[in-house]
Amino acid sequence: MSGVETDGGALARARLAPAETQWWRGAVIYQIYPRSFRDSNGDGVGDLQGVIDGLDYVARLGVDGVWLSPFFTSPMRDFGYDVADYCGVDPVFGTLDDFDRLVDKAHGLGLKLIIDQVYSHSSDRHPWFVESRRDRTNPKADWYVWADPKEDGAPPSNWQSVFGGGAWTWDSRRRQYYLHNFLAEQPDLNLHNPQVQDALLDVARFWLDRGVDGFRLDAINFVMHDPALRDNPPAPRTGRARTRPFDYQRHVYNQSHPDIPRFLERMRALTDAYDGVFTVAEVGGPEPLREMRSFTEGGRRLNSAYNFTFLYADKLTAALTKASLSDWRGTEGEGWPSWAFTNHDSPRAVTRWAGERDGARAAKLYAMLLLCLRGNAFVYQGEELGLPQADLPFETLQDPEAIANWPHTLGRDGARTPMPWRAGAPCGGFTTGRPWLPFDPRHADFAVDRQERDETSTLNFVRTMISLRKNVTALRAGDIAFIEAPPPLLAFTRIAGGETMLCVFNLEDEAQEWRPPEADRYRRLVDVGLDGAKTAQRPPSLLPPLSGYAALRQG
């Protein structure tokens, strides 16, 4: 059971968050994967008109903005992350006019709109690459990463691709190898070349002039390589199974070049010429903290960054959360973190973390934790419904990474299946045609229409949590301080001005008995899993498995 105070009580007395010039600080941003969000024309693929049609639902969640995954012209080898025209809309999604209407609809609903920018690589069908591969003397010959073979014809270095196999592909026209950190159809751009940087900044300017409010920079730590092409050293064994050659190396030379922040400073100078633009970096790798700080520090680079610590974690624990959050203390010059538990690149959190446990209860608890953390919160479509990972047979898979690593990983397709809108409709109301990925019949029970009618649903709980976060300054923008609590409990406070929000979680399977210091001074506003305990009370002393609460103290 979950409870929320509804009588106005302490929440009504909480100091409302002031209007901030930095709208994004503490914001909740809803990620839309357009292929799977809503299909308006029955071809089985979600589109921009479908996004427009669904924006009223997104606005009712109470979020601050939308992150829209790629909709650009693309051969779709990596479903839009292989861009063939950075300033075009792929016909499967619609037109530029549709995009302009989407911007207007979002802004009319009070939503900010953030879009992806993929600067690490393009599609091999992009006109830039078509020209670059023609010969070694054309104007764009140095716009991509080309290198001669070794004397024996082998690739220039031992670098490996994220999606499996070597990161170099031979091109007979130039009689050279080109670099691709992902698919061979995704050649790496050469951002050491100032002309390439200028062209990408022109792309950003194109979308800013169309009214977008920010960018998520995909795989930004891959945008520059070591020009000397030195071999990567082997990675130490961690005890975890390694399914890709990529996992056997430390990626010190094919990514994370020290000149990347200089390009980000150019990016920031551009975005600062517009009002209230938000930039957030995706930073992958086993030790992302140094880069996250480097990419966001000093107020001259990006606004925020997020990593895969939670996205790839097999288990959610107090220790993991404390370790991740403790690195962001709010010291002068430090950037602002963002957090995501689920997105289009990771299996859904409720499946990874809850397993066979109560999925609905776990989904509420995870949402509550995400929305209590210091930083921005990204909510992936369907996460607010508590959707589990879809179960897909091999022959229906579309994702090249999932196909290459079958059956050793859950893959990404299971988190990209169609959004369930109506429980009784074919394909959950996502499309009238055949969906590009199968609709998991289990997801009908999680449909939007069913949950909207249920006051105790995950959807309505998430709406309440977003409202709480938006209206209580301490929760949206306050500092965080961890409290010593008996393992495995997680306890911390969020503090701003005269308010303190106490947040306590039992993420494990055993009940825990503990009451924090000065508990009687707090008034509980929201809880999960307290088994019928009356809401709007003092913090309890017994926390059942998969339970938690947030309580407010004023003064």
CB-CB contact of 490 with 322 (8 Å) = yes
Q: Tokens in use for 177?
A: 């190898």
In 376-411, which positions are buried (b, 16+ CB within 10 angstroms) versus exposed (e)? bbbbbbbbbbbbbbbebeeeebbbbbbebbeeeebb
SS3 state at 182: coil
Please name the amino acid found at residue 354: A
SS3 492: strand
Output the CA–CA distances (angstroms, integers) from residue 282 to 16, 264, 430, in the order listed.
31, 13, 29
CA distance 19 to 420: 35
Cα–Cα distance for residue pair 152/248, rounded to 1 Å: 24
User: Which position among 98, 188, 213, 218 bears the catalytic label?
Assistant: 218
d(CA 385, CA 390): 13
> Does 291 qualify as catalytic in the annotation?
no
Other Cβ atoms within 10 Å of 260 Cβ, number? 21
Q: How far apart are CA 549 and CA 503, in angstroms?
A: 6
* Phi, psi (rounded to 5 degrees) for 472: -115, 115
Element housing 171 (H / E): strand 168-171
Residue 282 annotated in active site: yes
* HEC profile of 494-532: EEECCEEEEEEEECCCCCEECCCCCHHHCEEEEEECCCC
Instruction: Indicate which residue of 64, 116, 213, 282 is catalytic.
Output: 282
Any residues with CB less than 8 A from the CB of 388 and at least 6 apart, and which? 348, 350, 351, 359, 442
Cβ atoms < 10 Å from Cβ of 255: 24
Q: What residues are annotated to the active site?
A: 218, 282
